[in-house]
Chain A
Amino acid sequence: MSKFTFPESIKSRPVYGTLEPRPGKAHLMIADAEGADALMDVAKADPGVMAKAHVIYIPKGTGTKYSDDLAALKPAILHVSPSYGASVPRLRRILSDAHMGLQIYLAGTEGLMGQAMQEAVSAGIPHSAIQTEHRGSVARRMQCVHCKGITEDVMTDPFVCSHCGLNLFVRDHYSRRLAAFQGVCIDAEDPGEVPEPVELYK
């Protein structure tokens, strides 16, 4: 199960599409884990794109399977990074050197796409001009509205804030600025009355 259709939700919740090759002299592709499959689909649709593509790939525990597949597409540059955080200096450098006409493709988990989009938007690309495709895990990047700490890869609702320890309810309310969903204390009225955590979208 690498492609998942999110049920319809509130307006704040990001909606992801399907990547397609677009005209441009430079292409920046960022993916994690199964997101590599979406990049391979782009390469299949227009093999010419890869020769102009800078790919940043974060395997996230998928071993070398996907990074080997991506290397076989012969992108202009392939950078395999141990984490998104480790790739940020490179990403910022690419964006600061880039010219208008750069096409951005984001694929994989919501946390990765949201954070990379935030960098691209602050570099001046309109968010609606950035292509995204969700693949792989439905885990979320959550911000605790109480302590403001971010908990990555949240898989259950409710969950415990990794910073302040409150029990947080997973909302669909999303912030593009923070690239995170909102987590709100679920037992503020009756401390300790916490429902059994359920896996997201199960």
Chain B
Amino acid sequence: MSAGTEKIAVTVTDVVAVNDLVKRFRFVRSDGGPLPTFSGGAHTVIEMKDGDVTRLNPYSLMSDPRDQNAYTISVRRDDQGRGGSLFMHRNVKPGDQMVLSYPVNLFSLDLRAKKHLMLAGGIGITPFLAQIKQLSAMNGRFELHYSVRTKALGSYVDELTGKHPEHVHIYYDDQKQAIDLEHLLDGQPLGTHVYVCGPKGMINWVLDTAKRLGWPDEAVHSEEFLAPQSGKPFEVYLAQSKRL
């Protein structure tokens, strides 16, 4: 993930409830300096001091990658999760001091693409928010297909459809709307790259369909927003300093 990257001390400036499940957090550097720029799709790892436990959760940065004043993230509350999102929802308030890692990008745009086709499911929208800001600034060609459960839970739907009415398509699960994936992938011009971020089932659906339709692996990108299962704890012996 992001082990070993440098850390940044930040202050929480805003906590906004986007809807029943999602809250948005805005961070500025505690020392007042500029934050590093990043590239769309990057995430930061947030350190949460939850009593005796330190939780490390990665969240995609959704702010403009060129904006060095602040980082924003959106956190979906997961009542069955390991507890990081609940901590963010319940405990984090404006004025809190927190520690973030430097941005790390494992889901970057391939800028050689002639067109970027983005498929988002639920909170998987967050990396695309930054990527769309990045592409808009450089006149990049993109098309977003965003699947949400209901109108009320569609985070940032209005913002996206308002700013990019020609390039954003929304699908509401409760209205039985679904991405017509086969047709969508089939009609893409040469040089299109597809990006998918969402639940595992959606990612596998896109990867499998793209493969069957003959898309090269190099043009298919994905990021799952669930944290991987943590491994078993182990001890490390440092050979030079002879310490455990």
On A, residues with C-beta under 8 Å from B are: 22-25, 95-96, 98-103, 123-126, 128-129
Contact = CB atoms under 8 A, between A and B. Distances in A.
Q: Is the interface of B mostly helix, strand, loop or mixed?
A: loop
Contacts of A24: 213-214
Contact of B214 (A25, A123, A126): A25
A129 B192 CA distance: 13
Interface string B132-172: 00000000000000000000000000000000000000000
B112, B114, B214, B215, most chain A CB atoms within 10 A = B214
Contacts of B213: 23-25, 100-101
Contacts of A100: 185-186, 188-192, 213-215, 219
Contact of A101 (B112, B114, B191, B214): B214
Interface size class on chain B is 20 to 34
Interface string B177-196: 00000000111111110000
Q: Is the interface of A mostly helix, strand, loop or mixed?
A: loop
Given A23-B211, A129-B217, 13 more contacts: A22-B214, A24-B213, A95-B190, A99-B189, A100-B186, A100-B214, A100-B215, A101-B186, A124-B189, A124-B192, A125-B191, A126-B112, A129-B216
A102 B185 CA distance: 12
Contacts of A124: 112-114, 189-192
13 contacts: A95-B190, A98-B189, A99-B186, A99-B187, A100-B186, A101-B186, A101-B213, A124-B190, A125-B191, A126-B216, A126-B218, A129-B216, A129-B217
